Amino acid sequence: MREIEVFIDTEEIAEFFFHELVKRGYVPSEEELEELADITFEYLIEKCIIDEEIGED
């Protein structure tokens, strides 16, 4: 299987959830969106869909 590099931005995930939830009639708080984004990120790691790499700054 070929390996590709993917960058996951939790802020982008939170924005996606915000728009999708609003379309469905929900108005989540910023804190709720951040939690959903973090949970989604952790799910992707747990399912081995992504690997977490800590950037060297």
Burial of 44 (0-12, 13-18, 19+ CB in 10 A): middle
Residues found in the chain: 57
Rounded to 5 degrees, φ, ψ at 31 are -65, -45
The residue type found at 19 is H
- Identify the CA nearest to 17 among candidates 7, 27, 8: 27
Rounded to 5 degrees, φ, ψ at 34 are -65, -40
Confidence band of 57 (pLDDT split at 50, 70, 90): low
pTM across the whole model: 0.76
pLDDT reported for residue 51: 84
pLDDT digits over 1-54, tens only? 788 887 888 899 999 999 999 999 999 999 999 999 999 999 999 998 888 777
